[in-house]
Amino acid sequence: MAVETPYLLQAIIYTAASYRYFFGCRDHVTNFTRLTAYHETLRGLREIVHRAGSASANNGCSDAILLAIALLTIHGPPSDMQGRTLLGEQQLKDYEYYGSKVWAPSHLQALLSLVKQRGGLQRIGIQSLSGIIFTESIDTTNAASVLEKPTFALPFPPAHFLKVLRQQRQTVKQTSSRQEQQPEQPRRVCRGFRFLLKSFPKCGRALLPIVEDVHELVDTYVTLLHGQGCGVDFGQLVATWRILQHQALSLDPAPAPVPARGDSKAEAEAEDLLLYQLCRVAVVIYLTECLEPLPTIGAFHENCSRRLMLLIDECDKLGYWQRHHHRQKSPLGAAPELLLWATVLGGFTARGTTWLRQCAYKNTANRPSATAPAGAPTTLCTASPADVDDDGPPPPPAVVEAAAVTLGDDAPEVAAPPLPPVVVVAGAAPAPQNCELWDEIVPRRLSV
């Protein structure tokens, strides 16, 4: 196909030259090749689309056109950024390369529009091409960066991948128990999210299974890193990760209804629904960075940290940090633990963004330590208005320092792989006593 379509051949040449240039091959020939191939690809695509005219609009564009645009989208425009993972596993190099690319909106929107004209991912002739658009997370990553539903539905049923994940996790746990000569201890996972079923039956039934699968995904990946997951297929693990991202993004955001004035019951329901929205956004953010933190700061961090901080701020105004004092028997008694976890997650996601200082001040400064969950670190209350100025960023707040404890002093600027999964969240602060959500969503043994 590439031989018959010069623009696709130039796109493939550009991807190879761009990859080599990123990892240190900075000679004149490589640079000239990548720049020339990029512009030749654009010129060829413009000509073929213009020549196709109305035929392209009626019958849809060819697979070659879609593949060329997909390659341009994934690899982005030419840049002088240089990679850090010059030595190491190929997967780590690939993750840094593709994670550092800034997508051109024109390429992304053109690709999504043309696939829509074609009739969706199922109508694409090249099976691997639909996998590129989904598995390489073009659609999912774009949706996560703006916290919107993905453009396309899953191209395959997710049940098989989720079933395999649970089976693999069960096998790994049984093997580990036999090696340690200890009986396997059954436990009910994700107890800190169980309030979703009682407070929001419709929304909770959709979100809670995703949270449970995320727990299994992270725990399985950790055992794989520790050399105990010999029966785990890494490629299938990544595919399951993408599926869970897609499912979490596809959930109904469930906007809170506007209650009538004086209707206390409707007001309480609207307030409680805010906690579901916080859970949904936090799970989406956690999923995006739970296996490996994104290597560069981009639109995802700006948009998601802003959205999460605004939700936490609304919960704070409604007094959710005090719920464990006044409603201990209520399903919403887990609210303080959820807010603590979301605050640490928001602080880490805001690294290197304009929201970093606002995260430190708005989400922690006005929170007296007496209202924090038992055992929670009092260092979360160290920010002050004096720390927020226009002369430059203040010293990293305690919540972000804690979240980045494994990343080094310059962690808020760039979090480059390789890093163990979720250590940045698990080691964010000492786990509060009796904090079921903290203990279940992140394995305690990862704490640093």
pLDDT at 326: 44
pLDDT at 49: 80
Q: Which among 223, 238, 227, 249 has a CA at the least distance from the CA of 164?
A: 238
State the Cα–Cα distance between residues 300 and 148, nearest whole angstrom.
12
Residue 188, SS3? coil
- Output the six-digit token pair for 211: 């949270």
Q: How deeply is 370 buried, as exposed, middle or buried, from its count of CB atoms within 10 A (0-12, 13-18, 19+)?
A: exposed
Cα angle vertex 42, ends 40, 43, to 5°? 65
User: DSSP code of 2?
Assistant: T
pLDDT at 32: 94
pLDDT tens for the 448 residues of the chain, in order? 777 889 999 999 999 999 999 988 888 999 999 999 999 999 999 988 877 664 545 556 888 898 999 899 889 899 888 877 655 667 777 878 887 788 888 888 888 888 888 887 778 877 777 766 765 568 888 888 888 888 888 777 778 878 877 777 776 666 655 555 554 444 556 777 777 777 677 777 888 889 888 888 888 888 888 777 666 777 788 888 888 999 999 987 765 555 555 666 666 666 668 888 888 999 999 998 888 777 777 788 888 888 988 888 888 887 777 765 444 445 555 677 888 888 888 888 888 777 777 666 655 554 544 344 443 333 322 222 233 233 333 333 333 333 332 223 333 333 333 323 322 232 233 333 333 333 333 333 322 2
Cα angle vertex 78, ends 77, 79, to 5°? 115
Q: Which among 322, 318, 317, 348 has a CA at the least distance from the CA of 336?
A: 322
Q: Which among 216, 124, 214, 92 has a CA at the least distance from the CA of 166?
A: 216
pLDDT at 159: 80
Residue 323, SS3? helix
In which residue are the tokens 């997710």 written?
A: 158
Non-local CB neighbours of 203 within 8 Å, separated by 6+ positions = 196, 251, 252, 254, 276, 280
Cα 245 to Cα 98, 128, 222, 268, 421, distances in angstroms: 18, 20, 19, 30, 16
pTM of the model: 0.69
User: DSSP code of 418?
Assistant: P
pLDDT at 177: 55
State the Cα–Cα distance between residues 227 and 384, nearest whole angstrom.
44
pLDDT at 9: 93
Residue 423, SS3? helix
Q: Which among 64, 56, 54 has a CA at the least distance from the CA of 7?
A: 64
Length, in residues, of the chain: 448
**Domain spans of the chain, in order of start:** 2-113, 158-170+191-364
State the Cα–Cα distance between residues 182 and 176, nearest whole angstrom.
9
DSSP states along 252-303: ---PPP-PPTT-HHHHHHHHHHHHHHHHHHHHHHHHHHSSS--SS--HHHHH
* Residue burial 132-155, b: 16+ Cβ < 10 Å; e: rest: bbbbebbbbbbbbbebeebbbebb
Q: Write the Ramachandran bin of 392: left for phi over 0, alpha for psi from -120 to 50, otherwise beta.
A: left
Question: What is the radius of gyration, based on Cα positions, of the chain?
Answer: 24
